[in-house]
Amino acid sequence: MLAQTPPMGWNSWNTFGWDISEELIKGTADIWNDLGLLDAGYQYLVIDDCWSLKERDKNGYLVPDPNKFPNGMKAVADYVHSKGLKFGIYSCAGTMTCAGHPSSLEHEFADAQTFADWGVDFLKYDYCYKPHNIPGHILYKRMGMALRNSGRDILFSACNWGSDNCHEWIRSTGAHMFRSTGDIQDNWESIKNIALSQWNKEFYSAPYCYNDIDMLVVGMYGKGNVALGGCSDEEYKTHFSLWCIMNSPLMIGCDIRSMNEATHSILTNKEVIALNQDPEGRQAYSMEQWNNSDVKIYIKPMTDGSFGIGFFNMGDSDGEGSLQFWDIGLTASSGYGLHFRDLWEHEDVGVFTENYTCKLKPHHCKVFRARLVKTK
């Protein structure tokens, strides 16, 4: 079974857009394990749009662009597999992909078979140029059915940006993850807007079909295809923490071949990733503070009875986060408190009863694992 926990990997789009090649994919696969990415849980190496020629061949099959992939896609997939990774590719439910390449409408079974024959393990399926006369859920059901009958386990990553209330029907199409937002950009406004757009929609994410709030921009620093501005490392930390606690799939979007130490330590923070990869996949719930503070609080119930607790200052001035334990079901009279471990500082902070309060600079966050302890 696929996607018991949120899928993790890398996708070419955020940094490279149309500028992709066998050399890029091999170079990315080569360095993956040296960086400890597989060990941290990243498994899927995914090629996004612009990998094919603009026309199908005379028999109606998709053709990898020979200038970019001179040895075809099976060779690329084999290479990726030889590194212990899984290989992903991209198509679209409409009449063309978003960048104008052939897509899979009316070719669903043939394309699913082509992908299976190449050794594809993951298909991102976009929504551009959707035909008006066919409802979106039918388009995804078609490809969901074709993939499940292709003879290969292929993770189905739906990408319709939350259109047509897809959170209500996407699970029934067989999709394992679904984009619920427009495209991310490498700047704080975009991260903030995406995170806040999910307020009260968190409950649609669950094992085998996760709410995907788009690929990560951590480590892009304003370079690449969606790099419009760039962020500071603290902002990237907040971005990563939000995506982890909100159960989003984690698809790296920077050029991992040149990532710096700060990026590496964010993307491989195993204590934060553990929140994201908790086996029960319970979605975090969000909590407004009584004073309408810009500091948002997320609580994620974990399989072992502990909680992931994140404080996120989404505002542009210093803020304070205060969690009243009563609000998560822990009363003062229970005789229990919470032991807090800081997942970015990697240190135990202590035991608190009744509440926990922290101050946060603009765009900063604090993320904890809190465990119940007897205090009386």
Cite the active site residues.
126, 183
- 359: which strand partners? 320
Identify the residue whose tokens are 């892009």: 220
Q: Please choose, out of 92-100, 110-118, 309-317, 364-372, the segment that lies near ligand GLA by the rule CB under 6 A.
A: 92-100
Distance of closest approach, residue 13 Cβ to ligand GLA, in angstroms: 5
Q: Between 101 and 282, whose beta carbon lies closer to ligand GLA?
A: 101
The tokens describing 277, both together, are: 């990869």
Q: Contact at 8 Å (CB) between 300 and 275? A: yes
Count interface residues toward ligand GLA (CB under 6 A). 10
Q: Does 99 bind ligand GLA (CB under 6 A)?
A: yes
Q: Between 19 and 39, whose beta carbon lies closer to ligand GLA?
A: 19
The set of residues, in sequence order, having a beta carbon less than 8 Å from that of 128 and lying 6+ positions away, is: 92, 94, 96, 97, 98, 103
DSSP structure class, residue 58: T
Distance of closest approach, residue 92 Cβ to ligand GLA, in angstroms: 8
Q: Which of 25, 47, 77, 98 binds ligand GLA (CB under 6 A)?
A: 98
Amino acid present at 200: N
Q: Please choose, out of 38-46, 97-105, 143-151, 297-305, the segment that lies near ligand GLA by the rule CB under 6 A.
A: 97-105
Distance of closest approach, residue 97 Cβ to ligand GLA, in angstroms: 6
Q: What angle do CA 373, 272, 201 make, to 5 degrees?
A: 95
Identify the residue whose tokens are 């939350």: 162
Distance of closest approach, residue 38 Cβ to ligand GLA, in angstroms: 23
Q: Is 52 exposed, middle or buried (0-12, 13-18, 19+ CB in 10 A)?
A: buried
Q: Does 126 bind ligand GLA (CB under 6 A)?
A: yes
Q: Does 48 bind ligand GLA (CB under 6 A)?
A: yes
The tokens describing 289, both together, are: 């503070």
Identify the residue whose tokens are 């995406």: 194
Site string for ligand GLA, 286-325 (x = CB under 6 A): ----------------------------------------
Q: Please choose, out of 23-31, 93-101, 290-298, 354-362, the segment that lies near ligand GLA by the rule CB under 6 A.
A: 93-101
Return d(Cα 264, Cα 270) in angstroms, integer: 11
Q: Which of 45, 159, 242, 267 binds ligand GLA (CB under 6 A)?
A: 159
Q: Does 183 bind ligand GLA (CB under 6 A)?
A: yes
Helix 233-245 vs helix 188-197: angle between axes, to the nearest 10 degrees?
20
Scanning 198-335, the segments in alpha helix (DSSP H) are: 233-245, 261-267, 270-276
Q: Does 233 bind ligand GLA (CB under 6 A)?
A: no
Q: Does 186 bind ligand GLA (CB under 6 A)?
A: no
Distance of closest approach, residue 98 Cβ to ligand GLA, in angstroms: 3
Buried b (16+ CB within 10 A) or exposed e, 123-161: bbbbbbebeeeeebbebbbbbbebbeebebebbbbbbbb
Q: Between 125 and 344, whose beta carbon lies closer to ligand GLA?
A: 125
Q: Does 122 bind ligand GLA (CB under 6 A)?
A: no
Return d(Cα 250, Cα 329) in angstroms, integer: 30
CB neighbours of residue 77 within 10 Å: 24
Q: Between 49 and 108, whose beta carbon lies closer to ligand GLA?
A: 49
Catalog residues that contact ligand GLA under the rule CB under 6 A. Answer: 13, 48-49, 97-99, 126, 159, 161, 183
